[in-house]
Amino acid sequence: MTDVAARSAEHLPPARVESPTSSPESDRNFDWNSASAIPDDLSREVYCILGMPIDAIEMPAVMQSIEMAAANAVPFVISTPNINFLVNSLSDPEFRESLLLSDLCPADGMPIVWIARLMGIPIKNRIAGCDIFEALKVQARPEGPIKIFLFGAKDSVVEAAARTLNLTAGLSCVGWICPGWGSVDELSQKEFIDKINSSNADFLVATLGAIKGQLWLHRNHRRLRIPLRSHLGATIHFQAGTVKRAPYTFQKLGLEWLWRIKEEPYLWKRYFHDGSVLLHLLLTRALPLAISARLLQRRYERNGHDLVIKQIYGSNFVTLNLCGFAIGCHVDKVVTYFRVAMTTNKQIVIDFSETCVVDARFLGLLLMLRKQLKARNTVLRFTGISRRLERMFRLNGCGYLLSDQVEEAAPGWNRGPAIGGRLPPSGETVSPPISPLDEEPNLTGEKLPARRTRTEHPRVRRAL
């Protein structure tokens, strides 16, 4: 690896210099096991777009979230998905996981917005990482500017970017590290992490390339003590003036990629590859989902779209049986049941045996429930997945949720009492009813009779 080039804010103009006065280990001792330190992801309006969680959010709400995270020193990871993120998430599970565990994922690329509109998802505008940075630059705070630490890029680039940021009202660069080229593990050495944490910054901005930057933030999540973190590759180059951002007209027309090729010709290979994958996804996934959404809308208008939720409680699990249409208009009701189930600190099982359909909004909610449970070292379980629902999961890019069931499913399940839609009163004993839920699910959600009269074996479907 090349020599480390590190600088601090001491070399920058004194008007914006803020040297750390104490170690973040003393000021920011994050309680990773505390529920208060975990963002309330269930309240986010998240849609699953081809397997990625995308927040339907506007810039004022983004600014509010950043302000709250900075003020409360709560770990808050911002990812800005674009087509390159989508392509990488399809082939790299760890990269995809870095998106799934992020605390905010606004749509960065216009093609993501176009896909959302095609599928009937109410994501109106693109919110790029550089737009977030520009909004922060002009927003003065009573507590002073947000302190930025830069990690990555060349020394000349970050020095120029730091000088620009220190002339703004809302941001102040307190230091940077230029680690040179290296693997994620090489860039995660203790020397780098300690210097970053000792800066007492509010916002850590990585500039390492999309894949390496996301993985670096993901693998070092618990080692870092700076609350706000994000990988904003091109943003730092824009601030430094080494790369010019596309004019506003190009941005609105979704042609910023063409401008980037003009500025950085070597990017044409990436854009050509990503564009080819995007075309394939449009034809094989986005269009079928758009057609399905319109057909289902007509069905809802004719026959209604009710959803009934049944709860079943056991000694170490809670099963939620979703009967009907698991779609966006029922999310608020489902969230209430999810919250109650989470307070029990038991395994949560979602039973889809009586579910007619799921949509992108409901799948987005499942991704947020999964994130919350992973923060508690718990795995979300599914049962009763029909072939039709399995196809919906895969078309929406959520086949990995079904694969999780195969890889992590427990060898057996204990059944408990069902009492309509309410919690069983303390001390009450209820005989479990005889129902399809009394059958044991196999790893992929198919049910096996509790007592067999024949020596046949169940067919296990392959989970891709």
pLDDT in tens, 193-231: 999 999 999 999 999 989 999 999 999 999 999 999 999
* pLDDT of the residue at 139: 86
pLDDT in tens, 395-414: 999 999 998 665 544 333 33
Beta pairing, strands 76-78 & 146-152: unpaired
Beta pairing, strands 440-441 & 447-448: antiparallel
pLDDT of 455 higher than 60: no
What percent of the chain stands above pLDDT 70? 78
If you search the block for the tokens 């896909």, which residue do you land on? 115
DSSP annotation of 352: -
Name the residue ranges covered by the structural domains of the chain: 5-268, 307-448
Output the six-digit token pair for 423.
């919690």
Alpha-carbon dihedral angle through residues 210, 211, 216, 218, given to the nearest 10 degrees = 100
* pLDDT of the residue at 244: 87
Instruction: Note whether 210 and 85 are within 8 A (CB).
Output: yes
If you search the block for the tokens 């210099």, which residue do you land on? 17
At what angle are helices 268-281 and 256-263 packed, to 10 degrees?
160
CA distances in angstroms from 364 to 9, 129, 164, 333, 459, listed in the order given? 41, 22, 38, 15, 30
Beta strands in 244-294 (DSSP E): none
The CATH number of the structural domain formed by 307-448 is 3.30.750.24
Reference 127, options 197, 79, 190; nearest CA is: 79
* pLDDT of the residue at 295: 87
* pLDDT of the residue at 442: 39
* pLDDT of the residue at 297: 81
At what angle are helices 233-240 and 129-138 packed, to 10 degrees?
50
* pLDDT of the residue at 454: 33
Q: In whole numbers, what is the pLDDT of the chain averaged over residues?
A: 80
Reference 237, options 257, 201, 209, 276; nearest CA is: 209
**What 3-state DSSP class applies to 402?**
helix
Distance between CA atoms of 197 and 212, rounded to whole angstroms? 20
What are 147's strand-pairing partners? 172
Reference 54, options 18, 104, 89, 1; nearest CA is: 104
* pLDDT of the residue at 304: 75
Instruction: Note whether 352 and 386 are within 8 A (CB).
Output: yes
